[in-house]
């Protein structure tokens, strides 16, 4: 049987692929990109976290900076 629990992110990605989520602010389709960022752990080291981010005209400058 297929797994019933899917992450919110998976749903967003799927929705974006199938329907195109339009940003109400800039009117552009949101595009999902995978970004890798460093996250500090409590013991002071860093680990890399993969994140899917919805990008549109409002935040593309920050994301791709």
Closest listed residue to residue 51, CA positions, set 65, 63, 43: 63
Which of 15, 17, 25, 51 binds Zn ion (CB under 5 A)? It is 25
Does 49 bind Zn ion (CB under 5 A)? Our answer is: no
Q: Work out which of 16, 23, 52, 53 binds Zn ion, going by CB under 5 A.
A: 23
User: Which of 15, 26, 33, 35 touches Zn ion (CB under 5 A)?
Assistant: 26
Question: Which residues make up the interface to Zn ion (CB under 5 A)?
Answer: 23, 25-26, 56-58
């Amino acid at each position: 049987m297929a797994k019933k629990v899917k992450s919110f992110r998976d749903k967003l990605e799927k929705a974006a692929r199938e329907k195109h989520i339009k940003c109400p602010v800039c009117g552009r389709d949101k595009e999902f990109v995978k970004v890798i960022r460093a996250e500090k752990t409590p013991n002071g080291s860093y680990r890399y976290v993969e994140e899917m981010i919805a990008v549109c005209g409002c935040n593309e400058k920050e994301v791709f900076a």
